[in-house]
Amino acid sequence: MYESKFYFIIEGIIVIATVIFMFMLRNFNQELAFIQGMYNNKIESAFAIASTPGYFGYLAMGFFFVFVLVAYSIKCFKLVITLDFRIIINCIINVILLIRLLVIFSNPVLTTFATLLLVAGLFIIANSS
């Protein structure tokens, strides 16, 4: 009984923290969309976004929340064997939150990170000879 209460308290904390982060990230993405609109070149846009205050904090927190939601969803799916209705609902909520977070996180925060990694990789390859 105690494990069940503890599980649902942790679940509630994760859901509330994720929703708050998603709202903050959505507002930050609106600022970044304005910066993206100022540049025609995607690489210049990526560097401008990366130099925005708070970008790497949002990037790190985004990876953290994705990791937490994936790990907690895996734990949740292992508990579905018990066929408890509350656990099944929590699994569905975790999956919906994960999908929504990935949609919000992917543009422009994750896209900028991928562009920077690609540019860095090409720079290393070009200078390796």
Is the pLDDT assigned to residue 21 strictly greater than 90?
A: yes
Q: With b meaning 16 or more CB within 10 Å and e meaning fewer, what string describes 85-105?
A: eebeebbebbeebbeebeebb
Q: What distance lies between CA 34 and its chain's CA centroid?
A: 20
- Residue 116 tokens read as 């920077």
Range of the structural domain that residue 32 is part of: 2-127
Mean residue pLDDT of the chain comes to 86
Check whether 83 has a pLDDT greater than 80.
no
Burial class (CB in 10 A: 0-12, 13-18, 19+), 17: middle
What's the length of the chain?
129
Summarize pLDDT for 55-77 with one digit per residue, the tens. Answer: 999 999 999 999 999 988 888 77
Q: Are 50 and 116 in contact (CB under 8 A)?
A: yes
Question: What is the reported pLDDT for 40?
Answer: 87
- Total structural domains in the chain? 1
- Cβ 11 vs Cβ 41: under 8 Å: no
Cα gap 17→46, rounded to integer Å: 28
Could you tell me the pLDDT band of residue 80, with boundaries at 50, 70 and 90?
low
